């Protein structure tokens, strides 16, 4: 559901008058895409230039977005849209290339790991071919480098390295003058993503200290230890950027707290929907979908999107992890708990995201 909306009020008006839609250019998409898929207006098409194997389960897509794409900052992510068996699917991935590559050559890269059972990542690995196009939305996300150089510690796990690759490339190119340490955790040595690139970076960019830690090649799993953090010079003065699986993030968070690192200097980004453990007894309820006149009850932590779909409704949705807001919808009454933050909403009228909202008692939504 990557709808690109024109901001031009006159165009919007004309679109409504002539085609009953706000985006008049997209009216012609069905014809334009027959001539050249890169002319599509409804979303930003991106040509798949090349697909590179990084590891046995990770590939890098080299994409050439249409020229009107607005670019990004290192560390940001982007929603992509692919069509599988007639169904459009949106997913969010971090951009793994540096913004300079986009500015100079009009290219960006996404580094994507195959997730067991994941519909979209498996399709990308098995079916996507160079020469085809996929949909792209504008980049977003607050996982960005500080404006003025400060000492930095990166903690990455698995494919959580991708936004950090983009940051490191940018820092090396800009000659970012502050100590930078990367602690990179991978299960086995064959899981290291972009190993050569990282090693090349470390050799040409002296401020970078690269430490790769293999967790699952010894008898005992070798996870993050406080001593790893203590070994980072000037830890307390550093900005910490973390991206990786929930277990690593939680562990790092508590160890950093023990070592006296202030919470507001820690930046996190997730690459999978964090499932906050909700107390099963306190959630669930009857949800009324007003437009469709359907009522669904749930016990436990099913979210509103799943409940609607189980009842045969098809609300709009995108990432299904609370990022893209495609499933945003007006709640008219009742309380929901946000799965990501664990916080409960007020009882009043407000916009909520169906995919991360779990009902707590009776809830009514306009959908």
Partner 1 sequence: MIKMNEQQLAELEKDLNAIRDEVLADRGERDAQYIRWIVRLHRTLEVSGRVMMPFGFIPPVFVAATAALGLSKIIENMEIGHNVMHGQYDWMNDPSLHSQTYEWDTVCTSDSWRRTHNYEHHTYTNVIGKDRDYGYAVLRLSDDVKWHPGHLFQFVNYILLTVLFQWGVGVHELESERLRRREITWKSKLPFLKDFFRKGGRQAFKDYVFFPLITFPVAPIVLAGNIGANLIRNLWSSTVIFCGHFTQDAETFTEEECENESKGHWYLRQLTGSSNFTGGKWVHLLSGHLSYQIEHHVFPDLPAHRYPEISEKVQAVCRKHGIHYNTGSFARQYGTVLKRIMTYSLPDRMRQKLTAPQPAQVM
Instruction: Tell me the C-alpha distance between 276 and 2, whole Å.
Output: 27
**Smallest separation (angstroms) from partner 1 to the CB of 317:** 7
Instruction: Tell me the C-alpha distance between 211 and 87, whole Å.
Output: 42
Task: Output the CA–CA distances (angstroms, integers) from residue 353 to 30, 81, 322, 345, in the order listed.
Answer: 30, 19, 7, 11
**Smallest separation (angstroms) from partner 1 to the CB of 311:** 13
For residue 228, give both structure tokens: 């790893």
- Whose Cβ is closer to partner 1: residue 262's or residue 291's? 291
Q: Hey, is 203 helix, strand or coil?
A: helix
Count of C-beta atoms within a 10 Å radius of residue 164: 27
- Whose Cβ is closer to partner 1: residue 28's or residue 223's? 28
**Smallest separation (angstroms) from partner 1 to the CB of 41:** 11
**Smallest separation (angstroms) from partner 1 to the CB of 19:** 8
**Smallest separation (angstroms) from partner 1 to the CB of 81:** 9
String of DSSP letters for 231-246: TSTTGGGSEEEEES-H
- Whose Cβ is closer to partner 1: residue 155's or residue 355's? 355
**Smallest separation (angstroms) from partner 1 to the CB of 63:** 21
Ramachandran bin of 312, using left for φ above 0, alpha for ψ from -120 to 50, beta for the remaining angles: left
- Whose Cβ is closer to partner 1: residue 148's or residue 293's? 293
For residue 68, give both structure tokens: 């009107």
- Whose Cβ is closer to partner 1: residue 27's or residue 205's? 27
- Whose Cβ is closer to partner 1: residue 88's or residue 262's? 88
**Smallest separation (angstroms) from partner 1 to the CB of 357:** 18
Start-to-end CA span in the chain (Å): 17
Residues lying near partner 1 in the complex (CB under 8 A): 1, 3, 16-18, 20-21, 26-31, 34, 42, 83, 85-90, 291, 293, 314, 316-317, 367
Beta strands in the chain (DSSP E): 44-55, 58-65, 77-84, 87-94, 108-113, 133-136, 152-157, 180-186, 208-214, 239-243, 266-269, 284-289, 294-299, 328-338, 350-353, 357-365
- Whose Cβ is closer to partner 1: residue 127's or residue 236's? 127
């Amino acid at each position: 559901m990557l709808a690109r909306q024109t901001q031009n009020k006159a165009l919007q008006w004309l679109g409504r008058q002539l085609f009953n839609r706000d985006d008049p250019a997209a009216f012609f998409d069905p014809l334009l895409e027959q001539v050249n898929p890169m002319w599509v207006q409804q979303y930003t098409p991106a040509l798949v230039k090349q697909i590179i194997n990084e590891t046995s389960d990770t590939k890098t897509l080299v994409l050439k977005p249409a020229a009107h794409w607005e670019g990004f900052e290192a560390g940001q992510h982007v929603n992509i849209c692919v069509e599988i068996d007639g169904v459009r699917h949106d997913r969010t991935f971090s951009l793994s290339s540096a913004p300079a590559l986009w500015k100079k050559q009009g290219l960006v890269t996404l580094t994507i790991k195959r997730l067991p059972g994941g519909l979209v990542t498996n399709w990308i690995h098995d079916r996507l071919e160079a020469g085809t196009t996929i949909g792209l939305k504008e980049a977003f996300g607050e996982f960005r480098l500080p404006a003025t150089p400060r000492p930095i510690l990166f903690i990455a796990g698995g494919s959580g390295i991708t936004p950090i690759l983009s940051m490191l490339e940018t820092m090396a190119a800009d000659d970012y003058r502050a100590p930078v340490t990367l602690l990179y955790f991978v299960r086995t040595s064959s899981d290291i993503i972009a190993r050569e690139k990282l090693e090349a970076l470390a050799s040409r960019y002296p401020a970078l200290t690269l430490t790769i830690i293999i967790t699952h090649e010894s008898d005992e799993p070798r996870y993050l230890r406080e001593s790893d953090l203590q070994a980072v010079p000037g830890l307390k003065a550093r900005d910490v950027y973390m991206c990786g699986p929930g277990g690593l993030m939680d562990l790092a968070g508590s160890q950093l707290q023990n070592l006296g690192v202030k919470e507001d200097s820690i930046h996190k980004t997730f690459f999978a929907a964090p499932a906050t453990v909700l107390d099963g007894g306190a959630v669930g309820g009857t949800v009324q979908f007003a437009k469709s006149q359907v009522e669904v009850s749930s016990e436990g932590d099913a979210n509103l999107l799943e409940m609607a779909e189980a009842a045969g409704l098809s609300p709009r949705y995108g990432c299904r992890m609370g990022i893209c807001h495609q499933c945003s919808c007006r709640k008219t009454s009742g309380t929901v708990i946000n799965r990501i933050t664990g916080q409960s909403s007020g009882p009043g009228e407000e916009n909520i995201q169906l995919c991360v909202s779990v009902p707590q008692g009776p809830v009514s939504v306009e959908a």
